[in-house]
Structure 1
Amino acid sequence: MEQEPGTEAEVKEFACTRFKADFPIMEKVEVNGEKEHPLYHYLKNAQTGLLGTTAVKWNFTAFLVDGNGHAVHRFSPGATTEEIEKELVPLLDASAAAAPTAGATGAK
């Protein structure tokens, strides 16, 4: 899509400086076409878009992936934070409920 200007280093610097990003930032990859990254191939086919389309149409299409690596939701670029939160919070709650408590050994 060639929508992200700048080198990977410039993009990372911008995200870290402007938005205080303190998480890993993926390298720039193709999201559509013959050279699409395998991750996007998986995500787009696991969670199709409107009317079953797979192509990423615009920047900020987002995919929600659970703790097991399953794509569980696809968000259009116009999705609000409230819409994303509605899908995200139950996944986080389920993950927290399934996590072993600190110090638990399983021994009786």
Structure 2
Amino acid sequence: MTSATDWGRITLRNGLLGRWAAEKLGMTGAEADAYANALANDAFEPERSDVFSKIRKDFDAAGVSQSDEEIRRAMNECMIQAGNLKPRRRGDSLDSAAAVLARNLIKP
């Protein structure tokens, strides 16, 4: 079961990821904010919660050259950043997940 803290981090991650993707898509200002907010809110909609597929589709439609690996790396980095921005309880599931993600990002 996903805790309220985890949902908060996922929502924050999606918002951060949305800002990253919006920049790649050439969006600025209110348009970029709306895109990021839509991705953040999608965390609560089961049929729209696959942010990777949404970003992949948007990048493909706009001709943005980013590999799946680059998108997933950005997702991981945003999750770590979200974890650092949100207070966490020692030993919660995201604590462990953040450590695993950090190790995976550091691999050569």
Whether the TM-score (by the shorter chain) exceeds 0.5 is no
Where relative contact order (Cα < 8 A, 6+ residues apart) is larger, the structure is 2
Tell me which structure has the larger Cα radius of gyration.
Answer: 1
Q: Which has the higher strand share?
A: 1
